[in-house]
Amino acid sequence: MNGITLSPQQLAVAQASLSCRLFLEGVAGTGKTTAGVARMHYLLKSEIPADRLLVLTPQRTLAQPYYDALRSPDTPGGGVVTVTTIGGLARRMIDLFWPLVAEEVGFQRPADRPVFLTLETAQYYMARIVTPLIEEEGYFDATTIDRNRLYSQILDNLNKAAVVGFPPGEIGERLKGAWMGDLVQARIYDQAQACALRFRRYCLAHNLLDFSLQIAVFAEHLWEEPLCRDHLTETYTHLIFDNVEEDTPVAHDIVYSWLGTVESGLVIFDHGAGYRSFLGADPVSGHMLQDLCDEQRIFVESFVMSGSVTALGAAFDRVLRPSVPDGETAPPIGDAAPLAPAPTADSVTGNNGIRATLHFGNRRFHHQMLDWVVAEIQALVRDKDAFPGDIVVLAPFLTDSLRFSLAHRLHRVGIPVRSHRPSRALRDEPATQTLLTLAALAHPEWEILPSRYDVTDALRHAIHELDLVRAQLLAQIVYRPHRGQPELTPFDEIQPDMQQRITFVFGGRYEALRTWLAAYRTRQAAPLDHFLSRLFGEVLSQPGFGFHRDVDCGLVAAMLVESVQKFRWISADLADNRRPLGREYLEMVRQGVIAAQYLAPWQEEEQDAVLLAPAYTFLLSNRPVAYQFWLDVGGLGWWERLYQPLTHPFVLSRRWPTGKVWTDADEHALRQRGLQRLVLGLVRRCRVRVYLGLSDYSEQGFEQEGPLLGAVQQILRRFQSERGGV
């Protein structure tokens, strides 16, 4: 298989009987997914029709090894293997069997086709429902969070109800039952409940299906409908379900009843994972799938960690594993089975010990720590012949300033760098801001007046090599809002001395851009996505302009056009749309609702480059590296979870008894277990060495003494005999 030599254990899984259902488990790095890919190859080479094989993963990024294998030359041809998620399967079945259940579910226009919402468009409709309640009835006046986060948390409540399997009308009662504080928070939960139900009624009235409604329709109606279930079970007779610990209880319920009908099945479970628990992942219900399997296999040997890295993982496990008092209920993220045994740190000594694996630099200030990180990376690439693509720099949260500071330092020493932040808003990209500012200038009838700063920034990025000083000077002179509409004046009307300061080279490029916008304004306005495509293709991507030969800007422009296009497709048919859709889109961007986030495909990024990423994002890419740098080890970000005043991902789960109060002890145990899970997950994806970036003061200037730093200090004290080498 693609030149990969399988171990005897992997080969036994791959070539198991065609009528066998296997449950495969082990920690990360033991070759489980490789065995799953080999199993897929074996089924295809055994003349199992490709369209009879279904590969399920919790999210698309985790399916990448299967996509890569299916594109390889040695994959048998004929037919197409279905690689998808439960959400993707739900959407397909709803589209196929819509007339069968539309009226039963309660959609008010069952004869019309369903409209599937993206995350952005769901937030858009949520904003239309919630905004009047906030402005007219004082909803959520007791909490201060950004509007887009408020909308996303209400949607998250609906998603939890769908993937856990309880009615959306129970959201508020479950949250209040676990709360023991003041009544203000209980009122917030009631308001979140009311907004969720209003949104659900609106979706039913307009044939809109957000993620929660797609899952609910599929799990509660279509899966119970014999025609749909028979279609699926007769179509897919061989099943591979990878990373089940990251999937949801409803997904596990469906596969649990499906496994009994398949000819062969392979279920793959990763010990110590469940990183998507904030999205409803449930390792406990995932592990129950072994009850339907004929055989169970456990992989123990790691193909990633060296002996010393394994010892480091064992040391972290000892100092971070929380103890649950007798009679207490652990938070719902505990392992469903004991961790696979690993060598103890005491058995690894000498040059192969922890001192060869753990390296740290302690600096007083944050910027000094970043300098140390870059110097160590430079030494690895220059002296150790390490590939940049085998190095990752991790932080609990990758802020814009941290990302820029590291990228700038690495570029300055000639080391390629890439970053991956699924939560980074598309609207925050400079290319997006440039395109949308120019769109406002081209559509004066929208009466959207960009600030002079926005125009300055747009000119600086739109015109190649235009510096900030000249861009600011040019914007001050040519940008003239007139009667509530934006206007750009010609370059030849500027005084000669100012023209010379700006230079005629930049003036000519500006005039070409202004002329194009002026010509567009004389024609009938096109849809916003058409406008952006033309602006990019006819002007900004041409020589002399800022997007020329800039692959990143081209990618951002393409994603923005796609975002606008989906918004237009879904919103255009609603009778209550009274404003131009382009203006509506820009207004929603300003409010932080639209262009909220995107997921750049891993395979499209430059691979031989140092990766900057949040720790959980790296874990869910499921890719090992040789060297890891952990930043701000003393910070609380490694231990704390995000503040979510409208929801609680662990209370809204099957593991938490309804009505049981969530205490400070539960919160502490949850955070401690989450830290242990995170650290072990990172170590298990490291081949050679972990570097710890320490600074006395954080990026914001606060002293740092977080739990992860305490764990490191315990390990160092335990191995004080090796301290001189660490």
Say yes or no: 262 and 201 in one domain: no
The reported pLDDT for the residue numbered 569 is 83
Which residues, other chains included, contact 469 with Cβ-Cβ below 8 Å and sequence gap of 6+? none
pLDDT digits (tens, 9 = 90+) for 2-45: 667 899 999 999 999 999 999 999 999 999 999 999 999 999 99
305 in any annotated domain: no
pLDDT digits (tens, 9 = 90+) for 469-486: 999 999 999 998 877 789
Round to whole Å and give the CA distance between 330 and 338: 15
Round to whole Å and give the CA distance between 151 and 137: 17
Q: Give me the percent of the chain exceeding a pLDDT of 90.
A: 64
The reported pLDDT for the residue numbered 1 is 61
Q: What is the mean pLDDT of residues 204-231?
A: 96
pLDDT digits (tens, 9 = 90+) for 686-707: 999 999 998 888 777 777 788 9
Write the CA distances from 72 to 3, 41, 314, 486, integer angstroms: 11, 11, 37, 53
Looking at the structure of the chain, the number of domains it has is 4
Say yes or no: 51 and 192 in one domain: no
User: Is the distance from CB of 27 to CB of 270 less than 8 angstroms?
Assistant: yes
Write the single-letter amino acid at 239.
L
Q: Which domain holds residue 535?
A: 426-590
Q: Are strands 686-695 and 625-630 parallel, antiparallel or unpaired?
A: parallel
Q: What is the mean pLDDT of residues 328-343?
A: 44
Say yes or no: 465 and 370 in one domain: no
pLDDT digits (tens, 9 = 90+) for 55-79: 999 998 899 999 999 988 888 877 8
187 in any annotated domain: yes
Residue that terminates a domain, selected from 174, 206, 238: 206
| C-alpha torsion sign, points 583, 587, 593, 596 | positive
445 in any annotated domain: yes
DSSP 140: T
The reported pLDDT for the residue numbered 338 is 41
Say yes or no: 176 and 61 in one domain: no
User: Is the distance from CB of 113 to CB of 102 less than 8 angstroms?
Assistant: no
Round to whole Å and give the CA distance between 315 and 345: 6
- Enumerate the β-bridge partners of residue 297: 24
DSSP 263: S
Q: Edge-to-edge, what's the strand order for the sheet holding 417-419?
A: 358-363, 686-695, 625-630, 391-395, 610-614, 417-419
User: For the ranges 1-5, 331-335, 435-439, 665-669, which has the lowest average pLDDT?
Assistant: 331-335
Which H/E stretch holds residue 602? none
Say yes or no: 555 and 627 in one domain: no
164 in any annotated domain: yes
The reported pLDDT for the residue numbered 347 is 40
Write the single-letter amino acid at 43.
L
Residue that terminates a domain, selected from 567, 590, 613: 590
Q: Whole-number mean pLDDT of the chain?
A: 88
HSE-up (13 A, CA, CB side) for residue 322: 25
Which residues, other chains included, contact 545 with Cβ-Cβ below 8 Å and sequence gap of 6+? 462, 463, 464, 509, 513, 539
Say yes or no: 619 and 666 in one domain: yes
Global model pTM greater than 0.85: yes
* CATH code of 266's domain: 3.40.50.300
Round to whole Å and give the CA distance between 263 and 15: 14
The reported pLDDT for the residue numbered 620 is 85
Say yes or no: 401 and 443 in one domain: no
User: Is the distance from CB of 25 to CB of 210 less than 8 angstroms?
Assistant: no
Please state the φ and ψ torsions of residue 611, each to the nearest 5 degrees. Answer: -95, 130
Say yes or no: 232 and 158 in one domain: no
Say yes or no: 491 and 551 in one domain: yes
CA-only gyration radius of the chain, Å = 28
Say yes or no: 576 and 443 in one domain: yes
pLDDT at position 329 over 80: no
pLDDT at position 402 over 80: yes
Q: What is the mean pLDDT of residues 500-513?
A: 95
Q: What is the mean pLDDT of residues 422-441?
A: 85
The reported pLDDT for the residue numbered 177 is 95
User: Is the distance from CB of 449 to CB of 426 less than 8 angstroms?
Assistant: no
Say yes or no: 148 and 201 in one domain: yes
80 in any annotated domain: yes
The reported pLDDT for the residue numbered 596 is 45
Higher local confidence (pLDDT), 501 or 422: 501
213 in any annotated domain: no
Please report which residue ranges of 241-355 form alpha helices under DSSP H.
249-259, 283-287, 307-320
Say yes or no: 259 and 282 in one domain: yes
pLDDT digits (tens, 9 = 90+) for 164-203: 999 999 999 999 999 998 889 999 999 999 999 999 999 9
User: Is the distance from CB of 697 to CB of 636 less than 8 angstroms?
Assistant: no
2 in any annotated domain: no
The reported pLDDT for the residue numbered 40 is 96
Please state the φ and ψ torsions of residue 21, each to the nearest 5 degrees. Answer: -115, 115
Helix (H, G, I), strand (E, B) or coil at 224: coil
Write the single-letter amino acid at 536.
F
The reported pLDDT for the residue numbered 517 is 95
Residue that terminates a domain, selected from 242, 277, 299: 299
pLDDT digits (tens, 9 = 90+) for 121-146: 898 899 999 999 999 999 999 888 88
Give 421's pLDDT tier (boundaries 50, 70, 90): low
- Length of the chain equals 726
338 in any annotated domain: no
HSE-up (13 A, CA, CB side) for residue 282: 24
| C-alpha torsion sign, points 174, 177, 178, 181 | positive
